[in-house]
Structure 1
């Protein structure tokens, strides 16, 4: 960038363009919201049939288009605003130099050099002549006052010569002019650096000219964000720094202290960080995590498509041994392909929950956490209804064998708990949250170890604290923390060490909560609720088998009398698995266990059926 260009530059023009992209992003967000939260739910509630399914498919595609436009326009807005801020700072420095030159009667030339008049005390009867100086933008060296060294590079030598010439010149205007010239050069360099960093970033922010948002488009958005973050870092753009390892209160204070523009910039550049930050509003985390979900889905789908087809596994003939081609393929691609397919299945399940909004009254879903690589098994935190505004909140932790690929079953259980709790809530809003942010044991042998819970308990505690902060305090909502199977052990780990921000603890099929008595769980024994199915073999094995066989001891079984909590009635056997049947709704009628759990969620304690 040249001096005249910077002098004539109007950063406000970039900011006006940024405002235009902000308006486009907001418009797309509004349109997406109407499609997802108003139009599609009404269609599901009022119409049935194949034609409606096809129409809903088109609505989803249109929503995806708006989401993509919202994200990309928001990213362009952020880049333009950050570039404008850097150029404005450079322009301010230049204007200051121009004002200094005018005050001294100096002339700034088109190449950025500064001409100064004659001045100073006479030498040999003559006033020292004027002249012209040109400066570089190189910072002053700590060795400025040292003799010239041939070991320095050419620019260092030139700078040293220029400084020594200035010091020796009897015209004091020369030193003033050189200082002004250096300010001009520094301003031009700052503007040039910003322009060079952002020009390629803005050029790449171009969508395809078709009407379909593909997985490749979303994968490319992820690259766009990475390039934008790099550009901001390279020029030292003023992007707020989030608290590192901050508490929920610290996170909320930081977020609330940002301007609207700073919040928008941070979401555009760091959606994964915002989506994972406990204490922030649910709608903010949801928006950020939906971007991460779309980007990761695009990335994973492209990577899966790039894996060569699996060769025939068996050798020709009767041996049944794996072929060398298959073994080579499996070693290179087998595990990764399985991982990608599992993650994509989980992402489809999350999208499936989004698509069910309005079905049988199901409320809008909020994605409060998502990471396909998180904690080994992936991370999903999804709420039915906004927990920030709920009067009754249930946060549920699933157990052994939970992973991203099989998350659909846990999402359905959360749906059922919301549906039945809402019927009992007398019009008060309910939110049920499926919280999976720990590395769950893969099977019974691993579930005999308590390390999984010791790692997951503090993470659950942080999320609970964040939920309370976002809600506005402990009195804002009646909160129940629930855990199924090994998930109850994670809940126990959180409750026994911390001031648990919850009113009730509720467990289903629990093998133990690492305490001997319900009173050790921080909410009071009369607010601890447990349900089991002793007459079903699978639930009995989970709850009692480990301790009986010496494989693990997590304390007193919560359904035992000596534990001291409330033991809820499971109900009649319906031909389903006892250990996974607590949420059964077969025949259109909720199981006794589900009705009882729903009563706890809404605080209807007197109607809970106890054993």
Structure 2
């Protein structure tokens, strides 16, 4: 519709379809919980039935007859040939054994079996009484609006179902604690389809974080986290506004604690909304489905989004953003991943599939002081390594051509990841606007120098280190992050980039993804395993 139509009717239809999609997503979550709850209920019934069947079979082996009501009949007892006969009878469960003269010995045998039968039936009845109200509670409001309260309630439903289904979940192995992507994938493959479905239904937030699992599974979990995170923040915001208005009904007094938190929530909501808008934009700009492979609003927030499914792509590019990147402004970085996807497809093999990822799963520096240090890069590098390992583990078919793209401080994170892994999970690396990648030689990145590319604009003050300017926080001394990766002595390859504006000072630092630009086209060629149209290749 979005490709072929335009106008108010289209906008109205898309709005309604998005609301319908939200309804389907909510229904999927609740139906998943119902399915898992029914399986847990069925397990408890099966356990009771096993006890019942054993008791009935044992009674038959003892020549006793079990009636439909669960009572057990026993035959008469003759003490000795020609002796006194004690008549038989029928007993029901829940009665104690009896002793004394004149008691038919078959009575107590039958009573023991009747008690076992009654106990099994009791366990089944208790399971029914336990699960009936819980299943009745798994229902939506009687309307077509999925509110923030509805999404928040799904978390409570999930916690309750997970707790109540403890015996059933004990039969499903938990993923390995702090498992590697390979260990996570092995765990996943070891589950049956039903076990996978139930584990995901009861642990949506968990599966989205597990490197090595299929991207479709992670996407399902993280889309749920996106909805519930938004709902939790919206509800908290409404509560804080109520408190603020109650304490200062006329707005005459400042309630600093509430006001500050509301501002923080607004920033996080802005970021979550940008992510949701991009996920909802499927069909626009000739882009494929987007996959949400990570999301949280801790600190400045994190997000991982793939344009296209990386598990089936022939060419996969992972873009690591740098300075000042945060959830609040994540939209521009997703735009960059989308732009590189479109350019790579336009300049590539039409028979190949592509995926272009934006990876922000580290705490990017937000000020010149933190940018000048390597601590954040040291923390982010192993996280990036695990994620990229996971992409290779979850990939289907022939291995993909994997390219790592680091921008600004993200190039330092990328460089440290490459230098720290003797067999890094990528085939090529691109650095743009780089203040340095943590090493002095391309050889130190554990890739062939021919696969290491760097580009910078002449007016990029970050990539222009160690030029001394008042706008350059790193220029007061030696270049802190190693040799300029575009320098001949670095030993890699340099590709051409258009010149940017000198003013404002950091404008040239963000030009690498400009539409139809020299830099974007060259990066797309590198992604396709080809040589750029412009640049230098050191001998």
TM-score range (shorter-chain normalised) is: 0.7 to 0.9
Q: What's the counterpart of residue 51 of structure 2? A: 93
Match 1:419 to one of 342, 348, 352: 342
- Worse-matched range after superposition: 278-287 or 409-418: 278-287
Match 1:599 to one of 525, 528, 538: 525
Following TM superposition, by how much is the alpha carbon of 1:111 offset from its aligned partner in structure 2, in angstroms?
A: 8.8
User: 1:88-487 maps to which residues of 2 (within 5 A)?
Assistant: 88-106=46-64, 180=113, 183-184=116-117, 187-188=120-121, 190-233=123-166, 238-308=171-241, 310=244, 325-326=253-254, 329-331=255-257, 333-373=258-298, 376-427=299-350, 428-472=352-396, 475-487=398-410
Q: What's the counterpart of residue 561 of structure 1? A: 488
Following TM superposition, by how much is the alpha carbon of 1:431 offset from its aligned partner in structure 2, in angstroms?
A: 0.7
Q: What's the counterpart of residue 447 of structure 2? A: 523
**Alignment partner of 2:380: what SS?**
helix
Q: Give the distance between the partners of 1:209 and 1:312, measured in 2 at CA.
A: 32
Q: What's the counterpart of residue 81 of structure 1? A: 39
Q: Give the distance between the partners of 1:121 and 1:444, measured in 2 at CA.
A: 100
Cα 1:608/1:241, change in 2 over 3 Å: farther
**Alignment partner of 1:300: what SS?**
helix
Q: What's the counterpart of residue 499 of structure 2? A: 572
Following TM superposition, by how much is the alpha carbon of 1:295 offset from its aligned partner in structure 2, in angstroms?
A: 2.2
**Alignment partner of 1:307: what SS?**
helix
**Alignment partner of 1:44: what SS?**
coil
Contact 1:133 1:174 in 2 (8 A): no
The structure with the largest helix share of the pair is 1
Following TM superposition, by how much is the alpha carbon of 1:269 offset from its aligned partner in structure 2, in angstroms?
A: 0.8
**Alignment partner of 1:46: what SS?**
coil
Q: Give the distance between the partners of 2:382 and 2:106, measured in 1 at CA.
A: 67
Determine if the alignment matches structure 1 residue 46 to structure 2 residue 46: no
Q: Give the distance between the partners of 2:270 and 2:437, measured in 1 at CA.
A: 31
Cα 1:224/1:82, change in 2 over 3 Å: same
Q: What's the counterpart of residue 415 of structure 2? A: 492
**Alignment partner of 1:460: what SS?**
helix
Cα 1:57/1:551, change in 2 over 3 Å: farther
Cα 1:185/1:381, change in 2 over 3 Å: farther
Q: Give the distance between the partners of 1:120 and 1:182, measured in 2 at CA.
A: 25
Contact 2:311 2:391 in 1 (8 A): yes
- Worse-matched range after superposition: 264-273 or 566-575: 566-575
Q: Give the distance between the partners of 1:241 and 1:262, measured in 2 at CA.
A: 11
**Alignment partner of 1:202: what SS?**
helix
Offset from partner CA, 1:390-439 (integer Å, 9 cap, x none): 11110111112222121111111111111111111121211100111112
Following TM superposition, by how much is the alpha carbon of 1:504 offset from its aligned partner in structure 2, in angstroms?
A: 0.4
Following TM superposition, by how much is the alpha carbon of 1:180 offset from its aligned partner in structure 2, in angstroms?
A: 3.8
Contact 1:510 1:542 in 2 (8 A): no
Cα 1:119/1:240, change in 2 over 3 Å: farther
Contact 2:442 2:449 in 1 (8 A): yes
Cα 1:176/1:488, change in 2 over 3 Å: farther
- Worse-matched range after superposition: 233-242 or 108-117: 108-117
Normalised by the length of structure 2, the TM-score is: 0.87
Unmatched runs of 5 consecutive residues or more in structure 2: none
Following TM superposition, by how much is the alpha carbon of 1:195 offset from its aligned partner in structure 2, in angstroms?
A: 3.0
Contact 2:208 2:222 in 1 (8 A): yes
Normalised by the length of structure 1, the TM-score is: 0.77
Contact 2:465 2:474 in 1 (8 A): no
Residues paired across the two proteins, number? 523
**Alignment partner of 2:226: what SS?**
helix
Following TM superposition, by how much is the alpha carbon of 1:179 offset from its aligned partner in structure 2, in angstroms?
A: 5.8
Q: Give the distance between the partners of 2:523 and 2:78, measured in 1 at CA.
A: 92
Unmatched runs of 5 consecutive residues or more in structure 1: 1-42, 137-161, 317-321
Following TM superposition, by how much is the alpha carbon of 1:472 offset from its aligned partner in structure 2, in angstroms?
A: 3.4
Contact 1:82 1:232 in 2 (8 A): yes
